[in-house]
């Protein structure tokens, strides 16, 4: 069937408009981060002053440090704990498995504000001083379930016999774990780690409720600074967007190269 | 695998060490309003007293109180008068030794020794002012302001063009004053009448409830009338010549934000230094200039509002003192709860 | 494998502390009032009764309404887009989907903040309107700005879910259908759409449920008067200090969402939904 011109243009137009919708605010924000005046609407010349401001502002630097360090630490810990726990879960009795999985899914199913409130009440009633530690614990708490959910499917497809065979052949449980099981579920672990990192980096609501004593992450910072027009935030946002985009492009290009390698080898 | 673990271990260690590297100096934790200080002042204080200042912001006294009760620990707070009164009553503050605040003598007499803290035993003024109507002189008829006072907010001629401050206390004050009642009333009928007044405004005027977001919006002239703190009004007027400030004859709220030291503070000496530092003439001048709020320091007040001063002729910088209908808020827990509840209802409707 | 099952024990302790206890605390606060000593705990339904006041029910209904509108818009826009993309060449598909998913990774606060300067009365759109001699429109602090912000935030998820379902589809079925004489519309109606339904359902789940509970987007784009359930909870905890009432509302919302998820699961034919979603996000 020959498509009419209209039929050909429509999908393209739709996609283009959608992409414009997605990227216009972002691009505008990025463009105006280089504006030499405070205005976010009228261009008065190119300037890097907001970026300079950014690096001089201790509040911003500390928020970025907090966000990154919490994201890294909670990703590492939740990936390790999550993977190990997932292995444990998949080897548990069915009833126990059901119970643990249901509880495990609560932080994911619950709206984040409910999880946030719950954790806030927890820290309050234990009279723990809110701050970096509580934010970290909270992040680990909501990241682990995602890791488990990412690893479990891979574990299910795993051939249980291989690990048992390793044990029979004299491997210690630890060796069986590290050298047999983990390599096979590695894709699940990695995607779990990625999700954990994103969830932690992007989090606002939970961090907002469990933090204190001046400890802020980037989301909280943008939230508090958004009340007044502040191009410095635009500068920070631009940097974040650029980094995210580069990482995403890289991640998506690497498999393409690997494919090429393989086809060359074959 | 082992290499990966090593890398991770190094990563975690370096991040923790990096994160902890700021813990050698003494720390002062200050909890204050947003955009209420000249940032260079903080840096200067840190350099002068070789310490780290953690400066956190709250949007409202209520938010500060909730966070405080939730277990946050700060050294210096900057609450408003009625909240100071509440904190004193609940034993949350340290009694001040004013000999450690020599700059106290720089203060304007009229704002010291007020009913919320007689003798300034617990607090030292930081900024003060009142609440009024910021209006666009080109689009708002001055006559309306004079004849209607606070009721101009219910004048449908200005429908869709007003900002109301998202604060239950201030909104109820406006309503009560508009109806001719006291802002501190405990009379249930009067409070209900104020509630009805506010509900009417909400239903007929399409107001936008904002906090500091209205500041940039008014500088840009997005709306015609806004309920504003005098300090913000002064700042806006200095950025937008069309704007002016009016305090109705029905009276308004006179307020003082004061610095207090928490009962459990672990940096008491540093806290005293901070308080005294804020009252230093040069520091107070910079703060007042940057923020726009009226300084409690006499000499700064005179200079800013006087001839050649930065806020010369800016009527929002010189709040009315001694006007019989102007009141300061008093703390009343039951009424506060009721008003908070009613305000939530108004916003939800 | 018994040795491995022991690995789960530390985690059981962890979730006991960090998941179970917080939920119990919320339930506890929801059913009590302030002023309890350790000895005498008075359970009460007061907080729940308070919620069933027309004002608060209105808030709940408004949240559901906004969430419904957002979800519907996402489906209406998302489906055609996903369909169009699924019909392009494989290489293009990857590129387009990459472009669609990049915004998902950008911080929500940052994305929402970007819209403030676009929609403001003195923002870009109005500046252009004024230059063209037209009347400026007030967009900020309205239903429009909130729904726009929500759609902007959630649309990528919807497109992703529908696209994945469409891409997975066995093309042999489509070919068979046209071989058997069906025209394009019939094929779509009877083959493509039903098979892609699971994607639509996942998409709806990913959009509707978070929309009901969101509070950041309404707060930034809707202003102080925009009271959705999420805002109400935040307001009760942070500003008003009524932790008991706030907990009751949280509990009510959690139950609504859990019921919603239960029904979504029932509709969904695949069953391994949530795992897929996470896998897909990182495909």
The answer to whether residues B272 and B336 belong to one domain is: no
pLDDT in tens, C194-251: 878 888 888 888 899 889 988 889 988 988 778 899 989 988 888 877 888 899 999 9
Q: Which residue has the tokens 């070789």?
A: B50
DSSP letter (8 states) at residue B93: B
The answer to whether residues B237 and B333 belong to one domain is: yes
CATH number at residue B334: 3.40.190.10
**Which positions in chain A have a beta carbon within 8 angstroms of at least one beta carbon in chain B?**
59, 65-66, 68-69, 72-73, 76, 120, 123-124, 127-130, 132, 178-179, 182, 212-214, 224, 227-229
Residue A147 included in any domain: yes
Between residues A156 and C66, which one has the greater pLDDT? C66
pLDDT greater than 60 at residue B18: no
Give mean pLDDT, residues B131-146: 93
A73 to B57: CB separation less than 8 angstroms, yes or no: no
Residue B13 included in any domain: no
Residue B8 included in any domain: no
Residue B20 included in any domain: no
The answer to whether residues B116 and B56 belong to one domain is: yes
C59 touches chain B (CB under 8 A): yes
Length of chain B: 349
The answer to whether residues B332 and B218 belong to one domain is: yes
pLDDT in tens, A112-124: 899 999 999 899 8
Residue A18 included in any domain: no
pLDDT in tens, A239-255: 988 988 888 888 777 77
Query: In angstroms, what separates the C-alpha of A213 from chain B's closest C-alpha?
Result: 6
B62 to C138: CB separation less than 8 angstroms, yes or no: no
Length of chain A: 266
Burial class (CB in 10 A: 0-12, 13-18, 19+), A19: middle
The answer to whether residues B250 and B260 belong to one domain is: no
- Domain count of the fold of chain A: 1
Specify the CATH architecture of the domain C54-281: Orthogonal Bundle (1.10)
The answer to whether residues B272 and B204 belong to one domain is: no
pLDDT greater than 80 at residue B8: no
The answer to whether residues B179 and B145 belong to one domain is: yes
C235 near B340, Cβ under 8 Å?
A: no
For B37, the token pair is 């200080």
Query: In angstroms, what separates the C-alpha of C98 from chain A's closest C-alpha?
Result: 8
B72 to A213: CB separation less than 8 angstroms, yes or no: yes
- b/e for A106-117, b at 16 or more Cβ within 10 A? bbbbbbbbbbbb
Which of B99, B109, B118, B120 lies closest to B302 in space, CA to CA? B109
The answer to whether residues B30 and B109 belong to one domain is: yes
The answer to whether residues B115 and B211 belong to one domain is: no
- The C-alpha atoms of residue A178 and residue A184 are separated, in whole angstroms, by 10
**Residue ranges of domains in chain C:** 54-281
pLDDT greater than 90 at residue B192: yes
- The C-alpha atoms of residue A85 and residue A78 are separated, in whole angstroms, by 10
Between residues C138 and B190, which one has the greater pLDDT? B190
Residue A23 included in any domain: no
Q: Which domain holds residue B216?
A: 129-254+322-348
Residue A72 included in any domain: yes
- The C-alpha atoms of residue A196 and residue A76 are separated, in whole angstroms, by 9
Of C121, C225, C238, the CB nearest to B347: C225
Of B60, B160, B213, the CB nearest to C239: B60
The answer to whether residues B44 and B97 belong to one domain is: yes
The answer to whether residues B98 and B165 belong to one domain is: no
Give mean pLDDT, residues C43-54: 83
- Domain count of the fold of chain B: 2
CB < 8 Å & 24+ apart, contacts of A124-131: A124/B70, A124/B71, A125/C25, A127/B71, A128/B71, A129/A212, A129/A213, A129/B71, A129/B72, A129/B73, A130/A210, A130/A211, A130/A212, A130/A213, A130/A215, A130/B70, A130/B71, A130/B72, A131/A211, A131/A212, A131/A213, A131/A214, A131/A215
C220 to A223: CB separation less than 8 angstroms, yes or no: yes
CATH number at residue A211: 1.10.3720.10
Give mean pLDDT, residues B79-89: 94
pTM, whole model, 2 decimals? Answer: 0.84
Residue A27 included in any domain: no
Q: Which domain holds residue A101?
A: 57-234
- Across the A/B interface, how many CB contacts are shorter than 8 Å? 61
Give mean pLDDT, residues B44-52: 93
Q: What percent of chain B has pLDDT over 70?
A: 93
Which of B228, B198, B213 lies closest to B341 in space, CA to CA? B198
Count of H helices and E strands in chain A?
12, 0
Maximum alpha-carbon separation in chain C: 78
pLDDT at B10: 65
Give mean pLDDT, residues B75-94: 94
C246 touches chain A (CB under 8 A): yes
pLDDT at B341: 86
């Amino acid at each position: 069937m020959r498509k009419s011109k209209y039929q050909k243009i429509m999908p393209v137009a739709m996609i283009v408009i959608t992409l414009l919708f997605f990227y216009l605010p972002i691009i505008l924000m990025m463009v105006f981060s280089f504006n030499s005046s405070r205005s976010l609407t009228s261009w008065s010349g190119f300037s890097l002053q907001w970026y300079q401001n950014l690096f001089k502002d201790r509040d911003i630097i500390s928020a970025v440090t907090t966000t990154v360090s919490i994201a890294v630490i909670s990703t590492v810990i939740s990936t390790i704990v999550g993977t190990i726990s997932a292995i444990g879960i998949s080897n548990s009795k069915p009833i126990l498995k059901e119970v643990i999985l249901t509880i495990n899914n609560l932080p994911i199913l619950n709206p984040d504000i409910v999880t946030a409130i719950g954790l806030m009440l927890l820290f309050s009633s234990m009279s723990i001083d809110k701050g970096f530690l509580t934010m970290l614990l909270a992040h680990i708490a909501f990241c682990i379930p995602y890791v488990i959910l990412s690893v479990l499917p891979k574990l299910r497809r795993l051939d249980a016999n291989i690990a048992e065979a390793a044990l029979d052949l004299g491997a210690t449980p630890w060796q069986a774990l590290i050298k047999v099981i983990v390599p096979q579920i590695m894709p699940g672990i990695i995607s779990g780690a990625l999700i954990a990192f994103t969830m932690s980096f992007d989090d606002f609501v939970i961090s907002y409720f469990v933090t204190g004593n001046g400890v802020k992450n980037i989301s909280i910072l943008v939230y508090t600074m958004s009340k007044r027009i502040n191009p410095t935030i635009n500068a920070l946002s631009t940097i974040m967007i650029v980094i995210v985009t580069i990482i995403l492009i890289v991640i998506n290009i690497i498999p393409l190269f690997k494919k090429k390698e393989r086809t060359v080898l074959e | 695998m082992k290499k990966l673990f090593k890398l991770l271990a190094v990563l975690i260690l370096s991040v923790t060490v990096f994160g902890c590297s700021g813990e050698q100096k003494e720390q002062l934790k200050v909890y204050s309003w947003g955009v209420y200080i000249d940032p260079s002042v903080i840096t200067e204080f840190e350099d002068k007293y070789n310490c780290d200042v953690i400066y956190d912001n709250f949007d409202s006294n209520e938010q500060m109180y909730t966070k405080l009760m939730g277990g946050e620990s700060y050294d210096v707070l900057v609450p408003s008068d009625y909240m100071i009164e509440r904190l004193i009553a609940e034993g949350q503050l340290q009694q001040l030794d004013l000999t450690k605040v020599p700059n106290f003598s720089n203060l304007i007499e009229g704002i010291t020794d007020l009913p919320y803290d007689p003798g300034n035993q617990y607090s030292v003024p930081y900024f003060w002012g009142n609440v009024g109507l910021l209006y666009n002189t080109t689009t708002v008829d001055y006559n309306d302001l004079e004849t209607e006072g606070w009721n101009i907010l219910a004048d449908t001629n200005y429908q869709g063009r007003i900002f109301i401050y998202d604060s239950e206390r201030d909104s109820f004050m406006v309503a009560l004053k508009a109806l001719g009642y006291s802002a501190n009333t405990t009379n249930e009928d009067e409070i209900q009448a104020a509630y009805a007044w506010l509900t009417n405004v909400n239903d007929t005027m399409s107001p936008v409830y904002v906090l500091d977001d209205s500041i940039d919006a008014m500088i840009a002239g997005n709306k015609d009338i806004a309920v504003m703190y005098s300090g913000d009004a002064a700042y806006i007027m200095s950025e937008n010549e069309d704007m002016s400030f009016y305090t109705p004859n029905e009276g308004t709220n006179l307020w003082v934000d004061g610095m207090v030291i928490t009962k459990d503070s672990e940096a008491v000496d540093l806290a005293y230094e901070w308080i005294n530092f804020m009252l230093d003439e040069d520091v107070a001048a910079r703060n007042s200039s940057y923020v726009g709020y009226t300084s409690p320091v006499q000499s700064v007040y005179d200079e800013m509002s006087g001839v050649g001063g930065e806020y010369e002729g800016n009527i929002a910088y010189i709040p009315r003192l001694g006007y019989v209908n102007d009141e300061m808020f008093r703390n009343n827990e039951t009424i506060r709860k009721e008003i908070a509840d009613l305000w939530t209802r108004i916003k939800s409707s | 494998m018994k040795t491995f099952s022991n690995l789960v024990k530390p985690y059981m302790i962890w979730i006991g502390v960090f998941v179970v206890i917080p939920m119990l605390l919320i339930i506890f606060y929801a059913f009590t009032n302030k002023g309890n000593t350790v000895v005498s705990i008075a359970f009460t339904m007061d907080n729940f009764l308070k919620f069933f006041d027309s004002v608060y029910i209105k808030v709940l209904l408004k949240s559901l309404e906004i969430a419904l509108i957002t979800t519907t818009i996402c489906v209406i826009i998302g489906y055609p887009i996903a369909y169009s993309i699924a019909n392009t060449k494989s290489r293009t598909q990857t590129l387009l989907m990459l472009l669609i998913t990049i915004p998902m990774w950008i911080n929500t606060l940052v994305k929402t903040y970007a819209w403030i300067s676009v929609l403001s009365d003195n923002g870009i759109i109005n500046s252009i309107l004024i230059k063209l001699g037209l009347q400026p429109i007030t967009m900020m602090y309205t239903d429009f700005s909130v729904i726009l912000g929500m759609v902007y935030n959630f649309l990528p998820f919807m497109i992703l879910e529908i696209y994945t379902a469409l891409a997975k589809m066995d093309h042999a079925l489509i070919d068979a259908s046209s071989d058997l004489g069906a025209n394009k519309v019939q094929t779509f109606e009877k083959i493509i759409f039903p098979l892609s339904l699971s994607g639509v359902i996942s998409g709806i789940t990913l959009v509707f449920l978070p929309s009901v509970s969101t509070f950041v987007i309404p707060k930034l784009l809707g202003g102080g008067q925009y009271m959705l359930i999420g805002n109400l909870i935040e307001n009760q905890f942070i500003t008003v200090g009524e932790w008991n009432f706030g907990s009751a509302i949280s509990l009510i919302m959690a139950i609504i969402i859990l019921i919603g998820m239960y029904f979504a699961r029932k509709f969904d034919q695949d069953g391994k939904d949530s795992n897929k979603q996470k896998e897909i996000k990182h495909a």
